[in-house]
Chain A
Amino acid sequence: MSIVTVQLGQCGNQIGFEVFDALLRDSQSSHGLCCKRENEAYQASCKERFFSEEENGVPIARAVLVDMEPKVINQTLSKAAQSGRWKYGQHACFCQKQGSGNNWAYGYSVHGPRHEESIMNLIRKEVEKCDSFSGFFIIMSMAGGTGSGIGAFVTQNLQDQYSNSLKMNQIIWPYGTGEVIVQNYNSILTLSHLYRSSDALLVHENDAVHKICAKLMNIKQISFSDINQVLAHQLGSVFQPTYSAESSFHYRRNPLGDLMEHLVPHPEFKMLSVRNVPHMSENSLAYSTFTWAGLLKHLRQMLISNAKMEEGIDWHVRPPSSGLPSLGKKSLNKDLHFNTSIANLVILRGKDVQSADVEGFKDPALYTSWLEPVNAFNVWKTQRAFSKYEKSAVLVSNSQFLVKPLDMIVGKAWNMFASKAYIHQYTKFGIEEEDFLDSFTSLEQVVASYCNL
C-alpha cells in the first residue's frame, strides 16, 4: 500500500529529498546479500510504496512539496532530476514568493487557509494516483515558521478530509541553542495541535543527529545535508520492506499501519523516537564486522539509558530488579535515568537475521506495568541487508525518551509566556493567549502521562 509524503518548508523538503534518494538507492543496490528474486521483490515493494511509474520507467516520488519560498523547492526538484534515477512529479509542488518570517501564527492562520484549496488539491491528486492508499507521511520542522504553522494546519485538514487514513508526522526537534527566539512558542503550538490531529509523531532531535555526525561519522564540517542523510538512513531502515508476520515469503503490505498499531494506539502516548545501530562512515564500514548479539546489546542499553547513539552509553543504568513490587517501580524512576517503555518495535535487517536473539527486549522490567511484553514488544526480521550494512538494527520506541526535552521546551516557553514576550506577533494573526494556555495544558498532560509510566 502506498504512502504519500508531504514535504513542508525548507526542512521538510530537504529531508524529503534525502529520504527518497536513500530509499531508492538502497532498493537498487546489489549489496543486498540475497538472491535476485528476493531483490526484485524488495525493489518492487519499495517502489509501490513510495514511487509511481512513468512511461519511460523513471520512478516518480509520491510526494507533495510545499513551501512559501521558491528557492528550496527548486533546489530539491533539480537535485532529484539530476540524479537520473528518480524525480518528483512535474506538478507536485506548491510555492509562493514570500516567506513567513518564522511566524507560526502567520503560517497557521494566514498561509494555511489562503492556500488550503491548492494544497489539498495537490494532495488529493497524489492520493488518487495510488491503487491502494495507506496514509500520509508529513515531514516538517517543529520550530520554524512555514513548516510548523502550515504543517499544523495541513495535518488538521488531512484529519478532516481523510479521517480513515493514517497520518505520521516526522518532526525535527530544534537545537537546544537554536537561533529562532520564538522557537519554543512555535514548538509547543505545533506539538499540541499535532497531538490532536496526527496519529504518530516521529521525532528526530537535531542535537542528537548532530552528535552522530560528529562522533560516529567523523564529519568535520557538518552541513544540513549530512544531518539529513543520517536522518534519511534511519527512516529508510524503518520503512524499507520487511516480511509480514504471517509468512516470510511476502513483504508486508502496510508497514505504516502495522507500526502504528503496535506502537501508538493509546491517544495520550504518540511520541516515537528512532535509534539505530550501527552507524558509521563508509570508510570505517569496510573494516568492521558485527554480531547480532553485540548490536542488540548496545541497542537495548541505548533504550534503557536513553542514549542517542552507540557511543558514550551509560552502562550503569539497569532496569529495576524484578523482586520489587510493581508499586516500587514509580519511586525508582523518579530520577528518570531509567527509560521506561510503553512499546517497542525492533527491525532487523541482514545476514543470519533469524539467529538474532531479542529476548533481552522482552524483559517485563523494561515496560510499564499495564502492558505485557508480549503485547508491547514486536520484532520484524528481514534477510535483505540495508544500505551496505551487513547487519543493521533499528528501534522505534514509544518511551520516556522525549520527556526531558519536552519538559524543557514547555518550561522555557512558559517562562517567556509569563512575561508576555513576543505574544503580540501571534495575537496579531489570531492566535490568542487562550490558545497558548490550551497548548500548555495539553503538553503538561502529555508530560505527566509519560512520567507516570
Chain B
Amino acid sequence: MRGRRVGAAGARAIAGVSRSLPSDHSPRSSGRAKFDRPDDSAPWQLLLPRALPIPAGKRLASIALGKAALPALCFARANPRAALPAAGSVGWLLRAEDLCPRQMLPDPSGPLGDEMTVWGQCDALASLGPPAPHMETEGPVDVRHVQWLMGKLRFRWRQLVSSQQEQCALLSKIHLYTHGCHSDQSLGHLSVTEAEMLRDPEGGQQLLRTLEQENRRLEAVLAWRRTELVFWQWMDTVLGTCAPEAPAAASQPTFLPWVPECGDGELELVVRELQTLEEELREAAERRRVAWEAKARGCGRGPEWSATRRASQETVEKELGALQRRWEQDSGPAQAHGPHRLVRREDGAAGDRDLRAAELIRTLRSQEACLEAMLRQLQGQCRQELARVAGALPGLIWIPPPGR
C-alpha cells in the first residue's frame, strides 16, 4: 500500500489521536514494523486497525462528550451559605483560587466543603415556570398518601440541614486546629483537602498521578481538535489510493504480527461497515425526527396550546426583566467568579479578589427573600384556585388544616 506523505500537520494530528486513546493502548515504535513501503505509512498502520473497527464517529463523539463534561465538573454545584457560620466576631473570607484541583476530577461525591465556586446571580434564581398544562392521573389518589410523602420530604430536608450543620462544625474544627500550620501566612490554616492530604499522603500521591494522567489526555484531545481536519483529509487521500490497489496488497508480505485481523479486503469491509453505520444512523435520526414531529403536531395548535405558550412567554419575559433589574441594582461591587477557598481570619483583612462571607450571606438572603415571596404568591394562587373550586360545589365546606 502506498500512502501519501503524511506531512507535519498530519503527523501531529495522528500523534494527537494516539495520545488521546486509552492508556492500555501500546503504540509500537515504527522501527519494529516490517515494511517495505515508505515510512510515512507506518503511523497509519499503527492507527487504522485500532481506530476504524470502532466506528470513528463514536470515539470522537466520546472525546467530544468528555470535553463537554469538563465545564460541568469544574462548576460543581456549590452552596456557600451552608458552609458559613452565623455572623460572629471571626471574619470569613472566600479567597479566589486559580485552580481548584479536586473539582477537575469526575468525583461523584461532590465538592469537599471549603472549596467552592462562586457563581453570578443567575445561578441561585430558580426558574419556576407555569404549571404543566395537563396532569397525568392514574386513578384516584388518597390525599393522605400525598400528605405522607410530603412529610417524608420534610424529614429528609431537616436531616439534610442537620448534616450540613454537622459539616460546618467539623470544618470549623479543622480550621481551628490547623491554625498556624499553613506555609502561606495570609491563609493561616489548612483547608480540608490539605488536611486530608497530610493525613493520607499516599492518597494524595494517587490523586496527583490521576490528575497528571487526566491532564495529559486532555492536552492530547486539545491537540487532536486542532489538527483533526488535516487528519481526515489525509485519511481520505489514503483511502482513495488504497481501494483500487487492494488485490495488489495480497502479494505483499504480511502485516505486523500484532495486527492479525488486517488482511485483504479488510479495508473494504471496514469501509462498508462505516457506510452501513452511517445509513443506520441516518435512518434512526429520521425515525426520531418523524416521531417527534408527530408528537409535536399531536400537542395541538388549538387555543389552549397558544394560550399556554403565551403564558410561558410572558413568565419568561417577566423573569428576564426581573433578572436584568436585579443585575443593574447589584452591579456595584463586582463579584468575582470561579473557585474560592474558605479562610478564617481574625483580623478580617481581605485582598482584592476576596469576598467577605457576610456580603455573600446578605446577597443570598435577599435572593432567599425573593424566592420566598414567589412561593407565597404561588401558594396564594393555589389557595384562590382551591377556594374557587370549593365554592363551585354547593354544600362543600372548606376546613383549612390547623396552622402552627
Interface residue B5 (Cβ < 8 Å from any Cβ of A): no
Interface string of A350-382 (1 = CB under 8 A from B): 000000000000000000011100010000000
Given A164-B161, A164-B162, A196-B402, the answer on whether A261 and B142 have CB atoms closer than 8 Å is no
Is B166 a contact partner of A260 (Cβ separation < 8 A)?
no
Which residue of chain A has the shortest Cβ distance to B143 in the bound complex?
A: A370
Which stretch of A264-272, A295-303, A305-313, A387-395 is in the interface? Answer: A264-272
Interface string of A187-204 (1 = CB under 8 A from B): 000000000110000000
B residues less than 8 Å from A131 (CB atoms): 166, 169-170
Is B148 a contact partner of A265 (Cβ separation < 8 A)?
yes
B299 to chain A, nearest CB (A): 34
Is A371 a contact partner of B170 (Cβ separation < 8 A)?
no
Interface residue B56 (Cβ < 8 Å from any Cβ of A): no
Given A1-B166, A196-B404, A370-B142, the answer on whether A264 and B151 have CB atoms closer than 8 Å is yes
Is B144 a contact partner of A265 (Cβ separation < 8 A)?
no
- Which A residues, 216 to 275, have Cβ-Cβ distances below 8 Å to chain B? 254, 257, 260-261, 264-268
Is A267 a contact partner of B158 (Cβ separation < 8 A)?
no
Interface residue A134 (Cβ < 8 Å from any Cβ of B): yes
A331 to chain B, nearest CB (A): 18
B residues less than 8 Å from A413 (CB atoms): none
Which residue of chain A has the shortest Cβ distance to B158 in the bound complex?
A: A164
B residues less than 8 Å from A96 (CB atoms): none
For B162, give its contact among A133, A261, A264, A265 (CB under 8 Å).
A133
CA distance A257 to B160 in the complex (A): 11
Is A257 a contact partner of B155 (Cβ separation < 8 A)?
yes
Interface residue B159 (Cβ < 8 Å from any Cβ of A): yes
Interface residue A132 (Cβ < 8 Å from any Cβ of B): yes
- Which B residues, 155 to 205, have Cβ-Cβ distances below 8 Å to chain A? 155-156, 158-159, 161-163, 165-166, 169-170
B residues less than 8 Å from A257 (CB atoms): 155, 158-159, 162
Is B151 a contact partner of A166 (Cβ separation < 8 A)?
no
Interface residue B288 (Cβ < 8 Å from any Cβ of A): no
Interface string of B360-404 (1 = CB under 8 A from A): 000000000000000000000000000000000000000001101
A residues less than 8 Å from B112 (CB atoms): none
Interface residue A109 (Cβ < 8 Å from any Cβ of B): no
CA distance A264 to B150 in the complex (A): 11
Given A132-B166, A196-B402, the answer on whether A265 and B151 have CB atoms closer than 8 Å is yes
Of the listed residues B149, B158, B401, the one surrounded by the most CB atoms of chain A closer than 10 A to its CB is B158
A residues less than 8 Å from B401 (CB atoms): 267
CA distance A371 to B144 in the complex (A): 9
CA distance A108 to B189 in the complex (A): 49
Interface residue B272 (Cβ < 8 Å from any Cβ of A): no
For A133, give its contact among B147, B151, B154, B166 (CB under 8 Å).
B166
CA distance A165 to B151 in the complex (A): 14
Interface residue B145 (Cβ < 8 Å from any Cβ of A): yes
A residues less than 8 Å from B169 (CB atoms): 131-132
Please report the number of residue pairs spanning A and B whose Cβ atoms sit closer than 8 angstroms.
64
CA distance A369 to B139 in the complex (A): 14
A152 to chain B, nearest CB (A): 15
Is B145 a contact partner of A371 (Cβ separation < 8 A)?
yes
Which residue of chain B has the shortest Cβ distance to A441 in the bound complex?
A: B402
A residues less than 8 Å from B158 (CB atoms): 164-166, 257
Interface string of B267-298 (1 = CB under 8 A from A): 00000000000000000000000000000000
Given A132-B166, A260-B155, the answer on whether A266 and B148 have CB atoms closer than 8 Å is yes
B residues less than 8 Å from A159 (CB atoms): 404
B residues less than 8 Å from A132 (CB atoms): 162-163, 165-166, 169
Bin chain B's interface residue count.
Answer: 20 to 34
Is A266 a contact partner of B165 (Cβ separation < 8 A)?
no
Interface residue A206 (Cβ < 8 Å from any Cβ of B): no
CA distance A325 to B402 in the complex (A): 33
Which residue of chain A has the shortest Cβ distance to B402 in the bound complex?
A: A442
B residues less than 8 Å from A135 (CB atoms): 162
Which residue of chain A has the shortest Cβ distance to B161 in the bound complex?
A: A164
Could you tell me how many residues of chain A have their Cβ less than 8 Å away from some Cβ of chain B?
26
B residues less than 8 Å from A375 (CB atoms): 148
CA distance A254 to B169 in the complex (A): 17
Interface residue B152 (Cβ < 8 Å from any Cβ of A): yes
CA distance A285 to B112 in the complex (A): 51
CA distance A131 to B152 in the complex (A): 25
CA distance A300 to B163 in the complex (A): 35
For B155, give its contact among A265, A268, A370 (CB under 8 Å).
A265
Is B152 a contact partner of A261 (Cβ separation < 8 A)?
yes
Is A266 a contact partner of B155 (Cβ separation < 8 A)?
no
B residues less than 8 Å from A442 (CB atoms): 402
B82 to chain A, nearest CB (A): 12
Is A369 a contact partner of B148 (Cβ separation < 8 A)?
no
A residues less than 8 Å from B147 (CB atoms): 265-268
A125 to chain B, nearest CB (A): 15
B residues less than 8 Å from A266 (CB atoms): 144, 147-148, 151
A residues less than 8 Å from B159 (CB atoms): 254, 257, 261
CA distance A264 to B158 in the complex (A): 14
Is B166 a contact partner of A371 (Cβ separation < 8 A)?
no
B332 to chain A, nearest CB (A): 33
For B156, give its contact among A1, A261, A264 (CB under 8 Å).
A261
B residues less than 8 Å from A264 (CB atoms): 151
CA distance A166 to B149 in the complex (A): 17
Is B166 a contact partner of A265 (Cβ separation < 8 A)?
no
A329 to chain B, nearest CB (A): 13
Which residue of chain B has the shortest Cβ distance to A165 in the bound complex?
A: B162
Given A257-B155, A260-B155, A266-B151, the answer on whether A133 and B144 have CB atoms closer than 8 Å is no
A197 to chain B, nearest CB (A): 8
Is A265 a contact partner of B150 (Cβ separation < 8 A)?
yes
CA distance A131 to B162 in the complex (A): 11
- Which A residues, 118 to 167, have Cβ-Cβ distances below 8 Å to chain B? 131-135, 159, 164-166
Which residue of chain B has the shortest Cβ distance to A199 in the bound complex?
A: B155
Is A134 a contact partner of B162 (Cβ separation < 8 A)?
yes
For A267, give its contact among B142, B151, B170 (CB under 8 Å).
B151
A residues less than 8 Å from B149 (CB atoms): 265
A residues less than 8 Å from B166 (CB atoms): 1, 131-133
Is A370 a contact partner of B145 (Cβ separation < 8 A)?
yes
Which residue of chain A has the shortest Cβ distance to B165 in the bound complex?
A: A133
B residues less than 8 Å from A196 (CB atoms): 402, 404
B370 to chain A, nearest CB (A): 22
CA distance A134 to B163 in the complex (A): 9
CA distance A254 to B154 in the complex (A): 16
A416 to chain B, nearest CB (A): 24
Q: List 10 A-B contacts (CB under 8 A).
A: A131-B166, A135-B162, A165-B158, A166-B155, A261-B155, A265-B147, A266-B147, A369-B142, A371-B145, A371-B148
The 5 closest A-B pairs by CB, nearest first: A265-B151, A132-B166, A370-B142, A265-B152, A261-B155
**What would 16 more interface pairs be, CB under 8 Å, given A164-B162, A254-B159?**
A1-B162, A132-B165, A132-B166, A133-B166, A134-B162, A165-B158, A166-B155, A166-B158, A197-B404, A257-B155, A261-B152, A265-B147, A265-B149, A265-B152, A266-B147, A442-B402
